[in-house]
Structures are given as C-alpha cells and as structure tokens.
Amino acid sequence: MRHFLIIDIGGTKTTAVVFNDQGEPITDFIVKSSRTYEGEDAVFQNTVELAYEVLEAAGMKKEDIAGVGVAAPGPLDYRTGLILDVPMMGWRNFPLGDRLKAEFGAPVYVENDGNLGALAEANVGVAKGENVVLYQTISTGCGGGIAIGGEIFHGHSGFAGEFGHVSINFSGPKCGCGGSGCFELYASGTAVNNRMKRDMKCGIKSLAFEAVGYDPDKVNGKILSDAAEKGDPYAINMLQQEGYYIGVGLSNLFNMFDPDVVVLAGGMVKADKYFWYNMINEIRRHTCFHVEEDRIRISKLNDKVVAYGAYVMVKKAIDGKL
Ligand SMILES: [Zn+2]
C-alpha cells in the first residue's frame, strides 16, 4: 500500500496528515500555528517540521511517501506550485512546490483551498458523483471553487471560482481585491462581526453581547448561534439576515452555472437552521428558474475538507484515478 503526505497551509494554522491509497487518514490531523508574519523561511521551515512530525506519527520516512498534496493560500500557479504573492506568509514568487519536492524527493502538487474544497466534495463529500459542483465557504472570508465531472475547473489562469468577489452592490464598500460591494463584504464571518460591533456601539441589547461582556473586540459567530439557541431575537434576526446575503450570492451562482449542487462550508454555516429559510427564499427570488432545495448542501467534511481535497488531487495526479 502506498501513502501520501497531505499538508494544508492556512492563514492561521497548518494541518498535516498521512493518507493511505484507499483514501483513509492513517494518522491524526496534526495542527500547528502557521507562524505567519515571521518571514518566508520561518513559514516554510514550520511547514517542513510539521510534515516530519506527521511522518513520524505514521512510523514512516520520507522515502515511504508516494506523493505530496498541498493546499496553500493563493494566488498561486497550480501548474508549477509557485506562490505568487501572499504577504502574510512573506511569500512572493515563492517556489513552494519545488522546495517541498527537493525536501521530500516525491512529486508535489499545490492547489488553492477553494478549488480543493470543490474537488473533495465532488469526489468524496456530500456532492459525490455529481457533475457540476460549486463550493462556497462562509468563514473569515468567502472562498470558492468549481468541480466539473469530478475535476477542478481552473479557468484561463487558475482563478475561476472567486465567488467571494462577485459584487452584489457596485456602490457598496471598497474591497481589498480592488472591487466594491463584493459578496464576502456582506456574507463573511468578518462582515457579521462588524455588524455586531456596530450594533453593540449603538446600544442594542442581546444575549450574544452579554456573553462577551459587551466587549466589541470579542464578538464572533459562535456567540450569535449560542444566543439564537436561547431564543434571543437579535441573534435570530442577524442569522436570518445572513441567510438573505448568502441567498443573494448563491442566486448569482445558480444563474451562472445551473449547478447540480452547491456545497456550503465554514464556521458560519453551522448556524444553517437559522438562515436556511431566508437563504432559499432569496435564491428562488433571484434565480430565473426553479432551484430544488436539495441542491444546496452543507459540507460534512468540515475543517478536514481541504485535506481530503489535497488527497484526491495527489492520488488522481499519480494514479489517474481515485
Ligand atoms: Zn472583493
């Protein structure tokens, strides 16, 4: 049996795990701080150390690894494993793929996390076997990805699926991407936190705010869903509003792709029972054909989805099949 080293390098934490060629993880998913903002080599060395740690946990040496699948923050060139410009990692034209290949002596495949999310869901997740699968995360930001026929759809240069930057309000606030009124400025966890801070400062009372002692720096999505569980009207209303924004965003995706399935993932999605009704209503209001409810699904791979996607990528690249 062959084994694959899987590394998911995220903005705050990095995960490593070893999969066998049956698609099963044979170690724990070992998680460590990404040590971002410590410079190009610190982040890379940190990644390599974590990889050796997980190999040791698997009782293996690097020679036992048939391939390495890596999820990395973009923008990146998936063909070469070159990271183009990620300031928090100190990576500018950083040859991540080549550096890892030199370290481990095995083929290395690098892809962005949104694309891997789509790949995972279409092959081993809740959209397994479906043809046109879109993947949308609703967390700190709103990443996305497209899988068609079980393979990543890259577009011309690998950037297809940037759903978080589809504008839903051209006269809205400026976005870091250079556009304005982007979906993620309304629907992301960051956007929800900003609305909570504003409301707290306006004197609105809520069990959610009580939970953090009315400290605006401590707001997060969890206090909202916890308060909603207790019937807090403010929290329920906020999550319903979140459903409105998600629905508007997804209606654009339905009109563009008529996908078989859209898979939602990320921290905010855990509160789906509160936003579902509003989300479906908005999707139907703005989509020019009927959308069956079953075509929107919640990821069950959760925070492991990207690692599973990296496994599917490296396994298919080396074997030509899963
Ligand atoms: Zn944007």
Between the CA of 252 and the centroid of ligand 1 the distance, in Å, is 15
Mean pLDDT across the stretch 222-230?
Answer: 97
Mean pLDDT across the stretch 166-187?
Answer: 96
Beta strand 132-137 pairing with 261-265? parallel
Between the CA of 169 and the centroid of ligand 1 the distance, in Å, is 11
Between the CA of 186 and the centroid of ligand 1 the distance, in Å, is 11
- Is the pTM for the entire model greater than 0.85? yes
Mean pLDDT across the stretch 244-255?
Answer: 98
Beta strand 13-20 pairing with 76-77? unpaired
- Sorted by where each begins, the domain ranges of the chain are 3-117+304-319, 131-299
Query: In the CATH hierarchy, which top-level class contains the domain 3-117+304-319?
Result: alpha beta
CA 197, CA 219: separation in Å to the nearest integer? Answer: 7
pLDDT at residue 37 tops 90: no
Structure tokens that stand for 61 in this block: 């040496």
| Same fold flag, 3-117+304-319 and 131-299 | yes
CA 144, CA 262: separation in Å to the nearest integer? Answer: 10
pLDDT at residue 11 tops 90: no
CATH topology for 131-299 is Nucleotidyltransferase; domain 5 (3.30.420)
Instruction: Give the pLDDT confidence score for residue 188 in this predicted structure.
Output: 96
- Return the HEC string of 11-46: CCEEEEEEEECCCCECCCCEEEECCCCCCHHHHHHH
Instruction: Give the pLDDT confidence score for residue 226 in this predicted structure.
Output: 97
Structure tokens that stand for 22 in this block: 């049956």
Instruction: Give the pLDDT confidence score for residue 67 in this predicted structure.
Output: 98
Between the CA of 179 and the centroid of ligand 1 the distance, in Å, is 5
Instruction: Give the pLDDT confidence score for residue 56 in this predicted structure.
Output: 98
Q: Which residues contact 12 (CB under 8 A, 6 or more apart)?
A: 33, 34, 36
Between the CA of 172 and the centroid of ligand 1 the distance, in Å, is 11
Between the CA of 187 and the centroid of ligand 1 the distance, in Å, is 12
Q: Per-residue pLDDT tens for 275-314?
A: 999 999 999 999 999 999 999 999 999 899 999 999 999 9
